[in-house]
Chain A
Amino acid sequence: MRVTLKVRRYNPEAPHPRPYWQEYSLEVEQSATVLDALLRIREEVDESLALRCSCRSAICGSCAMRINGQATLACKTRLAAVAGQDGVLTVEPMGNLPVVKDLVVDMAPHWQKVRAVEAWLQPTGPEPEGEYLVPNEAMLHLAEVMNCIMCGACVSDCTVLEVDPTFLGPAALAKAYRFVADPRDGATKERLGKYTAPGGVWDCTRCFACVEVCPKGVAPMERIMALRERAIAAGYTDTYGARHTLAFAELVEHSGRLDELRLPLKTFGYTNVPQLVGLLPVAVRALARRKAPSPFHKPIPGVAAFRRTVRRARQASPTAGKQATGGSR
Chain B
Amino acid sequence: MGDRGIQQGYDVLVIGAGLAGMRAALAAHRQGARVAVMSKVHPVRSHSNAAQGGINAALTDRGDSWEDHAYDTVKGSDWLGDQDAIEVMCQEAGQEIIGLEHMGVIFNRDERGRLGARAFGGQRRARSFFVADITGQAILHVMYEQILKAGVPILEEWFCTDLIVEDGRCVGCVALEIRTGRVEAIPARTVVLATGGLGRVFEPSTNALICTGDGLTLAYRAGAPLMDMEMVQYHPTTLKGSGVLITEGARGEGAYLLNKHGERFMARYAPKMMELASRDVVSRAEMTEILEGRGVDGCVLLDCRHLGEKRIRERLSQIYDIARDYAGVDITREPIPIRPGMHYQMGGIKTDVWGRCWDPTGRWQGVEGLFAAGECACVSVHGANRLGANSLLDTLVFGRRAGETAARWAQERPLPSVNFPHWRQRREEGIRSLLAREVNADSIARIRWEMGTTMDSFLGVFRDREGIERALHTLRGLRERYERVGVRDKGRTFNTALLFALELDFMLECAEAIAISALTRTESRGAHFRRDYPQRDDVHWLKHILLYRNPNGEFPRIAYLPVTITRWPPQERSY
Contacts and interface: CB of A to CB of B under 8 A. Distances in A.
Query: Are A and B interaction partners?
Result: yes
Interface of A: 11-13, 31, 42-44, 46-48, 50-62, 76, 78, 100-102, 104, 107, 111, 114-115, 118-121, 123, 127, 129-136, 139-140, 142-143, 146-147, 149-150, 182, 184
12 contacts: A44-B445, A52-B41, A54-B210, A59-B50, A60-B44, A60-B47, A130-B114, A131-B107, A133-B112, A133-B113, A133-B114, A146-B131
B146 A120 contact: yes
A57 B149 contact: no
Contacts of B444: 47
B148 A119 contact: yes
B487 interface: yes
A104 B45 CA distance: 14
B141 A146 contact: yes
A212 B172 CA distance: 46
B44 A150 contact: yes
A48 B494 contact: no
Contacts of B209: 53-56
- Majority SS of interface residues in chain A? loop
B108 A136 contact: yes
Interface stretch (B219-227, B321-329, B332-340, B560-568): B321-329
Given A121-B103, A139-B106, A54 B47 contact: yes
A62 B45 contact: yes
Contacts of B443: 43-44, 47
B106 A143 contact: yes
Most A CB atoms within 10 A — which of B110, B321, B495?
A: B321
Interface string B100-111: 011110111111
B132 interface: yes
Contact of A58 (B108, B146, B325, B493): B325
B134 A147 contact: yes
A136 B107 CA distance: 9
A104 B494 contact: yes
Interface in B428-484: 443-445
B115 interface: yes
A101 B208 contact: no
A11 B490 CA distance: 12
Contacts of B487: 47
Nearest to A128: B102
Interface in B20-58: 41-42, 44-47, 49-50
Contacts of B318: 59
B102 A127 contact: yes
A61 B497 CA distance: 21
Interface residues of B, number: 64
Contacts of B412: none
A115 B494 contact: no
B179 A100 contact: yes
B217 interface: no
Interface of B: 41-42, 44-47, 49-50, 61, 97-98, 101-104, 106-116, 131-132, 134, 137-138, 141-142, 145-146, 148-149, 179, 208-210, 242, 244-245, 314, 318, 321-322, 325-326, 328, 443-445, 487-489, 491-497
Contacts of A76: 325
A50 B61 CA distance: 52
A43 B489 CA distance: 12
B441 to A, nearest CB: 12
B114 A131 contact: yes
A56 to B, nearest CB: 6
A57 B322 contact: yes
Contacts of B137: 59, 146, 149
Nearest to B328: A31
- The residue in A53, A59, A120, A134 that gathers the most chain B C-beta atoms within 10 A of its C-beta is A59
A13 B445 contact: no
Nearest to A43: B445
Nearest to B321: A58
A2 B296 CA distance: 29
Contacts of B131: 139, 143, 146
Contact of B102 (A59, A111, A132, A136): A132
Nearest to A119: B145
B497 A47 contact: yes
B46 to A, nearest CB: 8
A135 B113 CA distance: 5
Contacts of A120: 104, 145-146, 148-149
Contact of B493 (A13, A54, A57, A135): A13
A149 B493 contact: no
Nearest to B243: A56
A115 B150 CA distance: 11
B533 to A, nearest CB: 36
**Closest 3 pairs (CB-CB, A-B):** A121-B104, A43-B445, A133-B113
Contacts of B113: 133-136
Contact of B44 (A51, A140, A149): A149
A111 B102 CA distance: 23
A131 B115 contact: yes
A48 B489 contact: yes
Given A31-B328, A47-B489, A76-B325, A149 B49 contact: yes
Contacts of A139: 106-109, 131
Contacts of B242: 56-57
Nearest to B210: A54
Contacts of A48: 488-489, 491, 495, 497
A57 B445 CA distance: 21
A95 to B, nearest CB: 19
B208 A56 contact: yes
A120 B150 CA distance: 10
Nearest to B131: A143
Contacts of B115: 131
A140 B106 CA distance: 9
A143 B137 CA distance: 11
Contacts of B103: 121
Nearest to A45: B488
Contacts of A58: 321-322, 325
A54 B41 contact: yes
Contact of B47 (A55, A119, A184): A55
A44 B443 CA distance: 8
A135 B106 CA distance: 11
Nearest to B101: A131
A180 to B, nearest CB: 13
Contact of B49 (A55, A131, A182): A55
A139 to B, nearest CB: 5
Contacts of B321: 58
B102 A123 contact: yes
B45 A131 contact: no
B469 to A, nearest CB: 29
A20 B283 CA distance: 49
A120 to B, nearest CB: 4
A58 B317 CA distance: 13
Given A57-B242, A59-B137, A62-B45, 20 more contacts: A42-B445, A44-B445, A47-B496, A47-B497, A52-B45, A54-B41, A54-B47, A54-B208, A56-B244, A57-B322, A60-B46, A76-B325, A101-B493, A102-B494, A121-B145, A133-B112, A135-B113, A136-B108, A139-B107, A143-B134
Contacts of A135: 109, 113
